[in-house]
Amino acid sequence: MKNIKVLVTRKWPKNVETKLSQTFNVKLNNSDKPLTELELIKAMQDYDALLPTVTDKISDNVISCENRKVKVIGNFGVGFNNIDIDSAKKNQVVVTNTPEVLTDCTADIAMLLMLGIARRASEGEPHVRNSEWSGWRPTHMMGTKVTGKILGLVGMGRIAQAVAQKSHFGFGMKIIYFDPYFKDEKIKEKFSAKSCNSIDELLSEADFVSLHCPSTPETQGLINNDKLKKMKQSGYLINTARGDIVVEDDLISALRNNLIQGAGLDVFLNEPNVPEGLRNLSNVFLLPHLGSATEETREAMGMRVFSNLTSFFDGKEPVDRVV
């Protein structure tokens, strides 16, 4: 397959880059700088396959460019809201993603955010590091207990189920969820989970609300001022899904005015730009989109892209085809 030209838009794990280079005619991005729209359009015209990440915006303008050569887009990530899927369909460009392999690691980050914000870890760690800690005392930096609390999952896909597993069996949490498309009664019984009839019902009952729905026109801006008002004042919002599911200005206002107790966020609307309003708040635990960031998972994601790519150019159906 050395006659097949492939462009990798960002720096990937070394083993994956080596595997790709041994099989295809690959152009790597050793500088790890994001490509501009013009560079992406040029890539669509010069290569047979484009391998972007979730931070690359593959718009209709990019996909519909003149003299397009790219036949397949192998996205490095389970989410694909960075790609104009309708345009890919229209232009008969195959799109694949990398599901399953990042489930546990992203669920682990959701747990970290939940524990971190509840136990004020993001405040406590610099307190020690900056020599501001004067010693143990009964009322110092008290947080909220996680064990035994009610966890509300918005969406009940693979990652949500992994969070339910860790929370229910590890911390004795009661699981409730809202997902109008989820019908698996066995999974429901496994966690003794309650299915809520509406998101408002979930928000009003949960001590922790964890977002696990994809970014779609239906879910973008889902968590807004109205929804945040439905949450308990003692409640926490956790987001490891996509930044555009939350209206950031509304969340900042809710946190400032103690409408909710706190938030743990791994994703943001305009990454890597995080609003100053969030950065200046003590009742929010911030991480730089680390959901899948382990060596094992990132390598597995890259190998999944490689597998999809080889299947496509072998004339087989890629196992992770989105469109």
Q: What is the mean pLDDT of residues 191-220?
A: 97
The gap between the terminal CA atoms of the chain, to the nearest Å, is: 23
Residues 6+ apart with CB under 8 A from 273: none
For the annotated catalytic residues, the residue numbers are 242, 271, 289
User: pLDDT value at position 206?
Assistant: 99
Q: Is the pLDDT of residue 303 over 90?
A: yes
Q: Is-above-0.95 flag for pTM?
A: yes
Q: What is the mean pLDDT of residues 120-147?
A: 97
Fold agreement (5-101+295-313, 103-286)? yes
- Give me the amino acid identity at 274: V
Closest-CA residue to 155 (of 199, 123, 97, 108)? 199
User: pLDDT value at position 279?
Assistant: 98
Tell me the pLDDT of the chain averaged across its residues.
Answer: 97
User: pLDDT value at position 85?
Assistant: 98
Domain spans in the chain, listed from the N-terminal domain onward? 5-101+295-313, 103-286
Q: What is the mean pLDDT of residues 62-83?
A: 97
Query: What's domain 103-286's superfamily in CATH?
Result: NAD(P)-binding Rossmann-like Domain (3.40.50.720)
Using 50, 70 and 90 to split pLDDT, how confident is the model at 188? confident
- Give me the amino acid identity at 196: C
Q: Are 74 and 51 in contact (CB under 8 A)?
A: yes
CATH of 5-101+295-313, one of 3.40.50.300, 3.40.50.720, 1.25.40.10, 3.40.50.10860: 3.40.50.720
Q: What is the pLDDT of residues 84-116, one digit of tens each?
A: 999 999 999 999 999 999 999 999 999 999 999
